[in-house]
Amino acid sequence: MFDWIHNIPILSVVTYLPLVGALLILFMNKESGGSIRRFATLVAFVDFLISLPLWFEFERTGELFQFRESASWIPSIGVRYEFGIDGISLLLVLLTTLLGVISFLSSWSAIGEREKEYYIFMLLLQTGMLGVFMAMDFFLFYVFWEVMLVPMYFLIGIWGGPRKLYAAIKFFLYTLVGSVVMLLGVLALYFYNSSGLLGFEGLGNPRTFAILQFHEISALIPPSMQWWIFLAFFVGFAIKVPMFPFHTWLPDAHVEAPTAGSVILAGVLLKMGTYGFVRFSLPILPEGTRALLPWMVALSLIGIIYGALVAMAQKDMKKLVAYSSVSHLGFVMLGIFALNSAGLNGGILQMINHGLSTGALFLLVGVIYERRHTRMIADYGGLSSKMPLFATVFLIITMASIGLPTLNGFVGEFTILVGAFSRTWWWALVGAIGIVLGAAYMLWMFQRVFFGPLDNPDNEDLEDLNKRELLYLMPLVILCFWIGLYPKPFFAILEKPVDYIVRRVDADYAANVDVAAVTAPAEVSE
């Protein structure tokens, strides 16, 4: 049915369509905000529609990386234009395009000034993020990784709240520091693969940034070097995740960003960090991973508990959700560093789950912020009687976020904790404390906003969700239930890439588990 996507460079189309849309908007009259926002949303929607066939056409048991595109780019230093997706990328790409449409829709009423620039930046952001998840050349990856910072910087800095400049600059500088250090790690790999560096003799391979080539040579990289490169990657990715103690840019950026910015930030941007660990740190640096494992797990566990406790003390809804992200991403990291299939499956699925439920939470906070222009919990109370529908959706998403069975969060958390438990039993128990705390802070917020007497006269005239708001919230609610009740299709997509990664980091697994041998696919020739 979707055969045609094999005949076109589908990944490039999905990636650059928003860019083309942004270019077209440049030529539109900036006075006509209505047509700009409709056009931009249409572009995002078409992009989502085009990305959807990937789900159906992706062969679960086929090649690890599919829909590959390859072209020479800067031959003098071995840089190539390489695109391709495995199951992990596929899920993240779909999450990105879906949250894209949703955040565009949510912006219709939220953004009232300089709409033209706003939608241009939003579209550029889409292109940047999609490229990150598809790039199979480290140089290309780095380009997208950096490109995406710029529109986000402007989104926060122009359409943000009262402290927008502080937040925007903090976000930009913080992540930039991380990516520069990461680049050092990339360069170390690059030179080690070819001519050598710092007294290490190189492997003498042709110069390349191809990620799969680095996967290939992982066993040849000496442990001490792996340790250092892991650390360099860690700085880049951990800031993005964000892991404790590199998380403080997040609450500021989240609170100041416009709603759509927060949704994208929480839903997609944070996943780039965890994606980086899964795609690069683990398979390329198995020795480094094992050497630094205790530290990684310790930081993840601290993040889980610490984020939850700090969230409990928040008075601002957005800030509360922001800190809850620190806690949830701690779970993701715990799953990833359990280094077994269950943990990784859960961790990656939880990346998606967090994108859906936290994205939805930011949208919901945005809904009442638009009506009342305050995010302070204390300004609300008793909203259930005025906004029953809103309260219901909020409750469902809250439950998804605190991991109630039959909703998505539970499937992810359970799988993560099972994986962690089988690695070291008490990791899972410490992590599980986060579940109790999660219930505490989320339900307490819910109670203060929706229950009790409606005693603030400003809340008397609140209107319930309108059709547009329902339209963009419903897909998220449905997905939360889908993953909660029938997550099998998601696990099926992850099976192969996860097996591939575990095989690289766990020699025991590689020796004992005999699934159809998965090896890194050969380079695509020109």
Rule CB under 8 A: which residues touch another protein? Answer: 170, 174, 245, 247-249, 306, 309-310, 312-314, 340-346, 382, 384-385, 392, 399, 404-406, 410-411, 414-415, 417-419, 421-423, 425, 428-429, 432-433, 435-437, 439-440, 443-444, 447, 450-454, 485-488, 491-492, 494-495, 498, 508-509, 512-513
State the minimum distance, in angstroms, from the CB of residue 181 to another protein: 14
State the minimum distance, in angstroms, from the CB of residue 235 to another protein: 13
Residue 62, C-beta contacts closer than 8 angstroms, at least 6 positions apart: none
Radius of gyration of the chain (CA): 22
Long-range contacts of 23-26 (CB under 8 A, 24+ apart): 25/116, 25/119, 25/120, 25/123, 26/120
State the minimum distance, in angstroms, from the CB of residue 352 to another protein: 15
**How many angstroms separate the CA atoms of 97 and 474, rounded?**
16
Judged by beta carbon, residue 373 or residue 488, the one nearer another protein is: 488
State the minimum distance, in angstroms, from the CB of residue 330 to another protein: 14
Return the bridge partners of 200, or none: 197
DSSP codes joined into one string, 137-186 = BHHHHHHHHHHTHHHHHHHHHHH--TTHHHHHHHHHHHHHHHHHHHHHHH
State the minimum distance, in angstroms, from the CB of residue 523 to another protein: 28
State the minimum distance, in angstroms, from the CB of residue 130 to another protein: 27
List the structure tokens of 514.
């005999």
List the structure tokens of 522.
């050969």
Closest CA relative to residue 369, chosen from 360, 358, 380: 380
**How many angstroms separate the CA atoms of 107 and 113, rounded?**
11
Closest CA relative to residue 480, chosen from 352, 365, 367: 352
State the minimum distance, in angstroms, from the CB of residue 491 to another protein: 5
**How many angstroms separate the CA atoms of 500 and 13, rounded?**
28
Judged by beta carbon, residue 15 or residue 340, the one nearer another protein is: 340
Closest CA relative to residue 262, chosen from 106, 374, 396, 410: 106
Contact 448, 380 (CB under 8 A): yes
**How many angstroms separate the CA atoms of 244 and 330, rounded?**
8
State the minimum distance, in angstroms, from the CB of residue 366 to another protein: 23
Judged by beta carbon, residue 376 or residue 492, the one nearer another protein is: 492
Q: What CA–CA distances, in Å, run from 119 to 128, 153, 305, 401?
A: 14, 14, 37, 29
State the minimum distance, in angstroms, from the CB of residue 408 to another protein: 11
Planar angle of CA 419, 424, 427, nearest 5 degrees = 80
Judged by beta carbon, residue 71 or residue 313, the one nearer another protein is: 313
Closest CA relative to residue 361, chosen from 302, 401, 389, 388: 401
- Helix, strand, coil % (nearest 5) of the chain? 75, 5, 20
State the minimum distance, in angstroms, from the CB of residue 248 to another protein: 4
Judged by beta carbon, residue 203 or residue 404, the one nearer another protein is: 404
State the minimum distance, in angstroms, from the CB of residue 230 to another protein: 22
